[in-house]
Amino acid sequence: MSTNVPQHNPNDQEIDLTQISKKIRCFFQGINTLIFNCIRFFVKNAVVVAILLIVGFGLGLFLDKTQKTYDHRIIATPNFGSTDYLYSKIDLIQSKIREGDTVFLKEVVGIKKPKEIMKIEVKPISDVYKFIENKPENFELIKLMAEAGDINKILEDNLTSKNYSLHTITFKTNRTTNDSETVQPILNYLNQTEYYEKVQKETVRNIQIKMNQNDTIISQIDGVLNGFSNMVNGTQKSDKLVYYNENTQLNDVIKTKEMLINDQGNYRVTLVGLNKIIKDNSATLNIENRKSINGKLKLVLPILFLFSFIFIHLFSKYYKSQMKKHN
């Protein structure tokens, strides 16, 4: 039985190393040639490159100063279960902006300069703590939904997020604006709804009835406490010993009064926010938008012009070389 052992030829290894070294030299020579051609191109076209950079910078500077975009935010609370109504109305306004229906925006919505408004949208402000505050059923719902998926996705889902109390109405304009030109017309338009106006009146009326009843009960409790206090003071003045039955539940009466006083305070705060169907809590206007290329055109345009020139030059060179081969 014989075994063949492969024999390695030292000359083959030397040839492989020689070829590798040649390829490495060719690679670096290619890079060197490319760098030289780039330098040669810019030197040869120095005047054109300089003009493109200057023109691009000047045009970009002019556009940055004249073509600005401004963001405006309104933090609002949709009352009486009007969240879906708010979103549908904002979607309607956005569709009219997209269609360029300035007649609708000016005459129906009331925006004084409809051509300047570019976009409008509404998004919820995620506040899960407010969502479950004093609402055990909401807390249980979040727990149940969290077992079936990612909690972050659930909190951002439309079904959940639309139940948050605060929402942000954001719109963009290509000019600065003020409260009377855009904010108030939009809010007035959102608050023009016959159905929710009736719900608002009944809700406010029910709260006022509860407050009146609470005031009556508090007065009655005060009468009971005053009578008890007078009885105690009269007993202290006399020399007779009087025993009081523990079933008077005086402590429960005091706790009831404290609870009613807290309810009255909460009702007063609630009524402050119920004067509108879509209650505007705050508005921030004229925030210059610096995202994307906004405000950066003085840097973007020179680079764009330069790369366009290089592309045209390479395309022209490629086209001429192909035409020579074709001919």
- 152-176 confidence digits (pLDDT tens): 555 555 555 667 788 999 999 988 8
Mean per-residue pLDDT, 68-89: 91
Q: Give the range with max mean pLDDT: 17-21, 61-65, 184-188.
A: 184-188
With respect to residue 4, please indicate whether it lies within any of the assigned structural domains: no
Read off the pLDDT band of 7 (50, 70, 90): low
pLDDT in the model for residue 241: 45
Number of domains in the chain: 3
Distance set, CA 189 to CA 90, 98, 126, 284 (Å): 10, 18, 25, 19
Among the listed residues 99, 288, 92, the one whose alpha carbon sits nearest the alpha carbon of residue 177? 288
Mean per-residue pLDDT, 284-307: 83
Q: Give the residue, 237 or 282, on which the prediction is more confident.
A: 282
Q: Which residues pair with 58 in a beta bridge?
A: none
Mean per-residue pLDDT, 262-277: 90
Mean per-residue pLDDT, 200-228: 88
CA 192 vs. chain centroid, Å, equals 25
| One domain for residues 34 and 131 | no
pLDDT in the model for residue 242: 46
Mean per-residue pLDDT, 128-152: 57
pLDDT in the model for residue 302: 85
Mean per-residue pLDDT, 232-248: 51
pLDDT averaged over every residue in the chain: 80
Domain carrying residue 244: 199-272
- Give the integer Cα–Cα distance in Å for 35 and 31: 6
| One domain for residues 282 and 144 | yes
| One domain for residues 95 and 155 | yes
**Segment 182-198, tens digit of pLDDT:** 999 999 999 999 999 99
Read off the pLDDT band of 243 (50, 70, 90): very low
With respect to residue 7, please indicate whether it lies within any of the assigned structural domains: no
| One domain for residues 78 and 149 | yes
Among the listed residues 275, 314, 298, the one whose alpha carbon sits nearest the alpha carbon of residue 187? 275
Q: Give the range with max mean pLDDT: 22-31, 237-246, 290-299, 311-320.
A: 311-320
| One domain for residues 139 and 281 | yes
Mean per-residue pLDDT, 76-81: 91
pLDDT in the model for residue 124: 87
pLDDT score of 140 more than 70: no
CA 115 vs. chain centroid, Å, equals 24
| One domain for residues 181 and 283 | yes
| One domain for residues 283 and 167 | yes
Provide the sign of the torsion angle of the four alpha carbons 244, 245, 246, 247, taken in this order: negative
| One domain for residues 88 and 154 | yes
Q: Give the range with max mean pLDDT: 43-52, 119-128, 130-139, 262-271.
A: 262-271
| One domain for residues 43 and 135 | no
pLDDT in the model for residue 199: 93
pLDDT in the model for residue 1: 47
| One domain for residues 151 and 112 | yes
Contact 127, 166 (CB under 8 A): yes
With respect to residue 3, please indicate whether it lies within any of the assigned structural domains: no
Mean per-residue pLDDT, 244-265: 77
| One domain for residues 90 and 181 | yes
pLDDT in the model for residue 43: 84
pLDDT in the model for residue 10: 53
With respect to residue 14, please indicate whether it lies within any of the assigned structural domains: no
Pairing of strands 117-124, 70-78: unpaired
pLDDT in the model for residue 227: 74
Q: Give the range with max mean pLDDT: 67-71, 104-108, 288-292.
A: 104-108
| One domain for residues 218 and 315 | no
Q: Give the residue, 229 or 313, on which the prediction is more confident.
A: 313
With respect to residue 1, please indicate whether it lies within any of the assigned structural domains: no
With respect to residue 266, please indicate whether it lies within any of the assigned structural domains: yes
With respect to residue 11, please indicate whether it lies within any of the assigned structural domains: no
With respect to residue 8, please indicate whether it lies within any of the assigned structural domains: no
74-112 exposure pattern, b = at least 16 Cβ within 10 A, e = fewer: bebbbbbebbebbbebbeebbebbeeeeeebbeeebbbe
